[in-house]
Amino acid sequence: MHPVLTGNTASGLAPARDGTQLAYSLTRRGGARGRVALVHSLAMNGAFWAPVVAQLSAHADVLVYDCRGHGASDKPAGPYSVELFADDLADLLDHLGWRRALVAGASMGGSVALAFADAYPERCAALGLIDTSAWYGADAPEKWAERAGKAQAEGLQALVGFQQARWFGDDFRNKHGDVVAACVETFLKNEVPAFVATCTMLGAFDLRPALPRLSLPAAVLVGEEDYATPVAMARVLHEGIAGSSFQLLQGARHLTPLECPAVVSEALVALLTRS
């Protein structure tokens, strides 16, 4: 599919190596500048990054996309893996003619970014890990299976209250109901089989062995009140990746690219400079 141009943004579909079509959007500003690929969190889509793109695109060409099983991308049957999602990103970069990029992700997207940096070190100019983890713990398969089972038995609506409390701090939810409502709308548009396959993926992966292999500029950010991927998980990333920076976002919870996009954007601009 040829990209559709709207102003400085091109959107289209790109094929992964297994034929899965990935929906993407590329914001260009022209001239010699960096390239950034952003990977969204579970059950969101590329639009998740809109507040960050609005600021970051003054400094770089910015790619956002819908991971397989999400948004307007194809939703093939599982199993899924973070390594498969990393291959998808490599194929998307090939489609665009990008050799390298700063890759940053939030939550699930951070795990995918980490897998990409490990599998394609020559293509990852720098790494942004936001509200994410290399491993969810020994009980992760059971916890993620429980969430997937609830979605199968009762539908995604049954998880909305649980998700909202994890996504945003109480004050933010009270003041920014429009942002919360948009996230809920996106969440409920997911297809349950793809959601289940992705939950299973997150319960199974363990990228802790990758951390000491990484040698690149890296930034770790985490919300102070994040209990989906707690501060302790972020510190494992920071301590495992030599030379990485660490930033605690005061009063924020799990979806900090939406809760404090200016701070996240500034951190990514600084990471661009380091790369």
CATH of the domain at 103: 3.40.50.1820
**E strands along the chain, which residues?**
4-6, 9-15, 21-27, 34-39, 60-65, 101-106, 124-130, 218-223, 245-249
pLDDT (0 to 100) of residue 108: 98
Residue type, 191: E
Task: For 86-137, write each residue's pLDDT tens digit.
Answer: 999 999 999 999 999 999 999 999 999 999 999 999 999 999 999 999 999 9
pLDDT (0 to 100) of residue 8: 87
Residue 165 lies in a domain: no
pLDDT (0 to 100) of residue 160: 97
Residue 195 lies in a domain: no
Are 141 and 201 in contact, with CB atoms under 8 Å apart?
A: no
Question: Can you tell me whether residue 256 is helix, strand or coil?
Answer: helix
pTM of the shown model: 0.96
Residue 31 lies in a domain: yes
Name the stretches of the chain with pLDDT < 70: 1-7, 30-32
Residue 181 lies in a domain: no
Are 156 and 191 in contact, with CB atoms under 8 Å apart?
A: no
Cα 88 to Cα 19, 65, 103, 120, 197: the distances in Å are 10, 10, 13, 12, 16
Question: Can you tell me whether residue 206 is helix, strand or coil?
Answer: strand
Handedness of CA 137, 200, 123, 245 (dihedral sign): negative
Query: Cis ω on the peptide bond leading into residue 79 (within 30° of 0)?
Result: yes
Task: For 101-114, write each residue's pLDDT tens digit.
Answer: 999 999 999 999 99
* DSSP one-letter code for 207: -
Residue 189 lies in a domain: no
Counting Cβ atoms within 10 Å, is residue 208 exposed (0-12), middle (13-18) or buried (19+)? middle
Residue 180 lies in a domain: no
Residue 154 lies in a domain: no
pLDDT (0 to 100) of residue 184: 98
- Tell me the residue range of the domain where 14 lies: 4-137+205-274
Are 134 and 207 in contact, with CB atoms under 8 Å apart?
A: yes
Q: For the chain, what is the domain count?
A: 1
Residue 253 lies in a domain: yes
pLDDT (0 to 100) of residue 275: 82
pLDDT (0 to 100) of residue 33: 72
